[in-house]
Amino acid sequence: MERLHDIGEDALIERITAGLSLGSDVVAGAGDDCAVLESADPAVYELLKTDCLVEGVHFAVDSDPEQVGWKALCRSLSDIAAMAGKPRAALVTLAVPGDREVAVVEGWYRGLRLAAERYGVSIVGGETSSLPDKSNAAFLSITLTGSVAREACVLRGGARVGDAIVVTGSLGGSLTSGRHLNFEPRLSEAAWLAANFRPSAMMDLSDGLAKDLPRLAKASGDLGWRIDLESVPVENGCDLAAAIGDGEDYELLFTVSAESVGELRRTWAEAFSGPKLTVIGEITRDMETPLQGGWDHFPNS
Amino acid sequence: MERLHDIGEDALIERITAGLSLGSDVVAGAGDDCAVLESADPAVYELLKTDCLVEGVHFAVDSDPEQVGWKALCRSLSDIAAMAGKPRAALVTLAVPGDREVAVVEGWYRGLRLAAERYGVSIVGGETSSLPDKSNAAFLSITLTGSVAREACVLRGGARVGDAIVVTGSLGGSLTSGRHLNFEPRLSEAAWLAANFRPSAMMDLSDGLAKDLPRLAKASGDLGWRIDLESVPVENGCDLAAAIGDGEDYELLFTVSAESVGELRRTWAEAFSGPKLTVIGEITRDMETPLQGGWDHFPNS
C-alpha cells in the first residue's frame, strides 16, 4: 500500500494535478507561485494564491499568536510578490479545537490585520471550523487575490541559458532565529524589478534554494544551473548547508540577462537600503552544481 | 480563561471580523455566503468563497474519498449559487498525515475533478501540507472564485417585512442518508430565480434552517419571521426537528415579495422537474416562531 511519504510532495502534486482541465481564461494554473487568470481588463491579470499554516509544522503551539497571523498573510503576500503583483483581498480559514483560548484566535487576527493594513489587503471573509479532538493541530489557511499588469507579470518558467541567478537578502536560519514569523514580503522590490529589469523568471524562496531553484529550472524547460557556492549570502550564525536547505527565507529568487547585472547592482543599491542583492550563479543547459536539502512535506521515512 | 466553546461560533466570528478595514472595491465582506468585489467590468461583480472540510467533522475517516472531493467543491459551489453567481476557478489546500494512503488523496481529487468538470470550474492551484502527527484530522480547504452580473447579485440582507420565505428541495437527514456527500448545488435554479424573480435575500442552507434563517433575518435589519411549521418540506424518514436542525441541506433559502409567489410557483414547476419549491412562512417585524437547533462549530459544552 503506497503512502504519501513513500512518494514525496512533488510527486504527489504532479500526480493529482496532471491533466487538469482549465478554462481558456487561465494563463498559469497549478505549479507557479500564484495562479494567473485573465481579467475583464485585457491589460491586467488576476492572481490567486492559497497557503496554509499548520500548528507543529509551520509554527509552534507556543508561538506568539500575533506573529503567527502576520506570517500566515505574509507567506501569501510573498507569492504575490513573486509574480511582481499587487495584493487585493484575503479570505481566512481557521480550524481550531473548541477548548482553545479565544485569546489565541484573537491574537492570530491581530497579526492578520496588521499585515493586511500594512500591505493594503482587505480581509473579506473566511471560514471557521472546529476540530474533532483537542489534540488536533490547529491550522490557518489563507487565500489571497491580487493583480499585475500583463506586461509586468513574471512567471517561474522563463529562465534562459546564460541568465544570472540572483537572490535578495540572506538565507538560512529562519526557523531558529524566528525570522519566519516576522519577515517582510518583497512586494516593492519585486515590482521595482519587474518595472526596471524584466526578470526572465522569478519565485519566492519558501522551501530552500536546494528545493526551489530546481523548480524554477525545471519550469524553464528542464534547464540546469551553476552556483558559485561561496557567493551564496549566508545569514549570520548559519552555515552554507542551512542557507541552501533550511527554507522559509521568503526572499526573491530570480533570473535576469547577464548583460543587465551591472546596471541592476548599481540601481538596486540606490533604490533599496534594506535587503541586499546577490548574484549566486548562472542558468546552464545541464546541471553543474547539485544542491542537497530543502523542505519536503512528505519526506521518505 | 475564555475558550472557544464558551462563546460559540457566531460570537467568535463577530469578534474577529469587527471593524475590518475594507477597500472601496469591496461590495460585501465577511458575513454573506460569498465576498463580493467590484471587477474591471462595471456590470460584473467578482465573488470569492472559502470553505473547508475537516475529517471527523464534515466527513468520516471511512467516507468514500471521491464523494469527499465532490462535497468539498460542491459546498463552495452552493455558496456561489446563493449569490446567483457563476463559478470560475478553484484553489485546493490539503493537509494530510504522511502515512496516509496516496489512493485517498487521489480519490479526493477524482471527486474534485468530477465536480469541477460538471460545473465548469478550473482547478488552478493549491497547497499541500503534512500534519505533525498521524492522529491529526486531515482537511481539505477550497477557495472558489466566480462572477455575477451586478444587477443579478442577491445578498442575504435584503429581506423586507411581508416577503415570503421559500426553500428549495426537502430538508433534514442529510448526514444520515449520505446526501451531504453527493448533493447538487443549486446553481441553475438560483440563476433562474435571480433572472426571473429577483429574490430580496438569498443564502444556502448549510447549518440548518434554525441557524441560517436567523442569519438572513439579522442581516436584513434584525427582522423576525413567522414559519408555518407544517409546511416545512421534511425529507422522507425525518421529523421536523431534523428538517430544521440537522444542517448540510445545501438547498436555497430565499425571500420574495408576497405578490410574486403565485407566478413563482407556477413557472418553477415548468422550469424544474427536480427540486420542489415550498413557501414556509413570512418575514415579520418581530420574531413569531422561535426555532431550536442547527449546527454550531463551538457549542457550549
Query: For chain B, what percent of residues have pLDDT higher than 70?
Result: 99
Query: CB-based contact (8 Å) between A78 and chain B?
Result: no
Query: For chain A, what percent of residues have pLDDT higher than 90?
Result: 84
CB B144 within 8 A of CB A51: no
Return the residue matching grid coordinates 505574509. A74
Return the residue matching grid coordinates 476557478. B89
Task: Please determine, for residue B301, whether its predicted confidence score (pLDDT) is greater than 60.
Answer: no
Q: Which pLDDT score, from 0 to 100, does residue A213 have?
A: 97
Query: For chain B, what percent of residues have pLDDT higher than 90?
Result: 84
Task: Please determine, for residue B299, whether its predicted confidence score (pLDDT) is greater than 90.
Answer: no
Give the distance from residue B23's alpha carbon to the nearest chain A alpha carbon, in angstroms. Answer: 6
Residue A23: Cβ within 10 Å count: 14
Confidence class for position B31, pLDDT limits 50, 70, 90: confident
- Choose the closest CB to B128 out of A9, A93, A123: A9
Kind plus residue range of the DSSP H or E element containing B81: helix B65-82
Tens digits of residue pLDDT in B71-116 = 999 999 999 999 999 999 999 999 999 999 999 999 999 999 999 9
For residue B44, give the amino acid letter. Answer: V
Give the distance from residue A7's alpha carbon to the nearest chain B alpha carbon, in angstroms. Answer: 8
Tens digits of residue pLDDT in B1-10 = 899 999 988 8
Q: Which pLDDT score, from 0 to 100, does residue B144 have?
A: 97
Q: In what order do the strands lie in the sheet with A86-96?
A: A26-28, A35-38, A44-54, A139-149, A86-96, A122-130
Residues composing chain B = 301
Q: Which pLDDT score, from 0 to 100, does residue B292 have?
A: 85
Nearest CA in chain A to B30: A125
Query: CB-based contact (8 Å) between A1 and chain B?
Result: yes
Q: Which of A130, A107, A93 is nearest to A61 (CA)?
A: A107
Confidence class for position A299, pLDDT limits 50, 70, 90: confident
**What SS3 string covers chain A?**
CCEHHHHCHHHHHHHHHCCCCCCCCEEECECECCEEEECCCCCEEEEEEEEEEEECCCECCCCCHHHHHHHHHHHHHHHHHHCCCEEEEEEEEEEECCCCEHHHHHHHHHHHHHHHHHCCCEEEEEEEEECCCCCCCCEEEEEEEEEEECCCCCCCCCCCCCCEEEEECCECCHHHHCHHHCCCCCHHHHHHHHHHHCCCEEEEECCCHHHHHHHHHHHCCCCEEEECHHHCCECCCCCHHHHHHCCCCCEEEEEECHHHHHHHHHHHHHHCCCCCEEEEEEEECCCCCCCCCCCCCCCCC
Mean pLDDT of A82-111: 95
Give the distance from residue A273's alpha carbon to the nearest chain B alpha carbon, in angstroms. Answer: 30
Task: Please determine, for residue A109, whether its predicted confidence score (pLDDT) is greater than 70.
Answer: yes
Whole-prediction pTM value? 0.93
Q: Do A32 and B95 touch (CB under 8 A)?
A: no
Q: Which pLDDT score, from 0 to 100, does residue B275 have?
A: 93
Residue B18 CA to residue A37 CA, distance in Å, equals 31
- Choose the closest CB to A48 out of B116, B125, B128: B125
Confidence class for position A300, pLDDT limits 50, 70, 90: low
Residues composing chain A = 301
Confidence class for position A297, pLDDT limits 50, 70, 90: confident
Query: CB-based contact (8 Å) between A91 and chain B?
Result: yes
Q: Do A133 and B137 touch (CB under 8 A)?
A: yes
Task: Please determine, for residue A298, whether its predicted confidence score (pLDDT) is greater than 80.
Answer: no
Tens digits of residue pLDDT in B189-236 = 999 999 999 999 999 999 999 999 999 999 999 999 999 999 999 999
Chain A residues inside the 8 Å CB shell of B149: none
Chain pair A-B, CB pairs under 8 angstroms: 273
Tens digits of residue pLDDT in A225-279 = 999 999 999 999 999 999 999 999 999 999 999 999 999 999 999 999 989 999 9
| Maximum CA extent, chain B | 59
Q: Do A131 and B56 touch (CB under 8 A)?
A: yes
Q: Which pLDDT score, from 0 to 100, does residue B1 have?
A: 85
Task: Please determine, for residue A301, whether its predicted confidence score (pLDDT) is greater than 60.
Answer: no
Q: Which domains does chain A have, with CATH numbers?
A: 11-149 (3.30.1330.10), 164-284 (3.90.650.10)
Q: For an interface test with A, give the residue of B3, B10, B50 to mutate (most A CBs within 10 A).
A: B50
Helix pair B9-17, A102-118: axis angle to 10 deg? 30
Chain B residues inside the 8 Å CB shell of A133: 56, 135, 137
CA distances from A77 to A41, A82, A187, B144, B178 (A): 22, 9, 7, 19, 39
CB B174 within 8 A of CB B186: no
Q: Which of residues 197-216 of B touch A (CB under 8 A)?
A: none
Q: Which of B2, B45, B224 is nearest to B151 (CA)?
A: B45
Query: CB-based contact (8 Å) between B301 and chain A?
Result: yes
Q: Which pLDDT score, from 0 to 100, does residue B132 have?
A: 87
Measured over the CA atoms of residue B289, residue B295, residue B297 and residue B299, the dihedral's sign is positive
| Mean pLDDT of the residues in chain A | 94
Tens digits of residue pLDDT in A22-77 = 999 999 998 889 999 999 999 999 999 999 999 998 899 899 999 999 999 999 99
Task: Please determine, for residue A222, whether its predicted confidence score (pLDDT) is greater than 80.
Answer: yes
Query: For chain A, what percent of residues have pLDDT higher than 70?
Result: 99
Return the residue matching grid coordinates 487521489. B106
C-alpha cell at B210: 434554525
Give the distance from residue A54's alpha carbon to the nearest chain B alpha carbon, in angstroms. Answer: 7
Query: CB-based contact (8 Å) between A122 and chain B?
Result: yes
- Choose the closest CB to B131 out of A2, A93, A137: A137
Q: Write the CB contacts of B290 (distance below 8 Å, at least 6 apart in sequence).
A: none
Query: CB-based contact (8 Å) between B127 and chain A?
Result: yes
| Mean pLDDT of the residues in chain B | 94
Give the distance from residue A36's alpha carbon to the nearest chain B alpha carbon, in angstroms. Answer: 8
Q: Do B105 and A141 touch (CB under 8 A)?
A: no
Give the distance from residue B273's alpha carbon to the nearest chain A alpha carbon, in angstroms. Answer: 30
Confidence class for position A119, pLDDT limits 50, 70, 90: very high
Q: Do A29 and B136 touch (CB under 8 A)?
A: no
Give the distance from residue B65's alpha carbon to the nearest chain A alpha carbon, in angstroms. Answer: 13
Q: Which pLDDT score, from 0 to 100, does residue B51 have?
A: 92
